[in-house]
Amino acid sequence: MKCSYSFDYEVALPPGHPFPMSKYPLLKAQLLQEGIIAPADLVEPELLDIATLERVHTRDYLNKLGSAGLSAAETRRLGIPWSDALWRRSRLASAGTLLAARAALDEGMAANLAGGTHHAFADHGEGFCVLNDVAVAVTQLRAEGAIAKAAIVDLDVHQGNGTAAIFESDADVYTFSMHGERNYPSVKMRSNLDVPLRDGTGDDEYLGKLEQHLPGVIERSQADLVLYVAGVDVAAGDRYGRLALTEEGIRKRDRLVIETVRRHGVPLAIVLAGGYAPTRARTAELHAHVFREAQAHERNPADSRSGAF
């Protein structure tokens, strides 16, 4: 499975900053060590040009990002300090999602070892999200005629508010979000389908709701491509999560998404999104599960194990 990755996905942050930036190289190293991916599977993204980004983001916002022009209030809302390296990283991560989406269209399934920055709106960033990589990929592929319709399956614990807002009036992009009802953001946007979850929701309830809703999402969307925002902040003990999925629950969730989408014959691109486990290594380990499940499916796509749910 092709996976986008750049050394520049990791940038320096102030000491004590809560965003686990080192999870990206840790995840890459773990996937290589386990043989889930080979070095030849890694694809290096190149910086996206501004014209591509302008398909989603306003010129004023991009100008601010390119010239250290964010105000103090905008920086606080973003939650991460601006730097040239962050601006570069954000463009590379968006390029990585576009590369993964292209590879998925060619090969059935692919991933970006970053991405899922779903709190970025057209005209501002928030919640550690600078650019909305998923929206950029979908919009660019549609502009090229590579796809006509897309579905975004967002299972990060936080609603993909930026993505929902960007595509709210777009009938050809179906947004589906399962998220903590009382979690960030305090004001939710409107996805095509929102499934709010109570604090403390565990494996059985979570997987039951996902199994109930996901097939209909794929069928209603008539998607040519699905992008899976595979946040692992649903895990029990996550710093910002409030849900209670076990490690096995996360694996079953990822398996269910992969099997359902591929059973419908739709290409699938996977992006990481959030995860705030007690250690960076633990966060990377949780992110690795979706790649393990993808590898298992690729080896034996006819072996549907979703009955185990």
Identify the active-site residue in 118, 119, 124, 297: 119
Concerning whether 158 is annotated as a catalytic residue, the answer is no
217 backbone φψ class: left, alpha, beta (φ>0; ψ -120 to 50): alpha
The token pair at 295 is 């590898």
Catalytic residues: 119
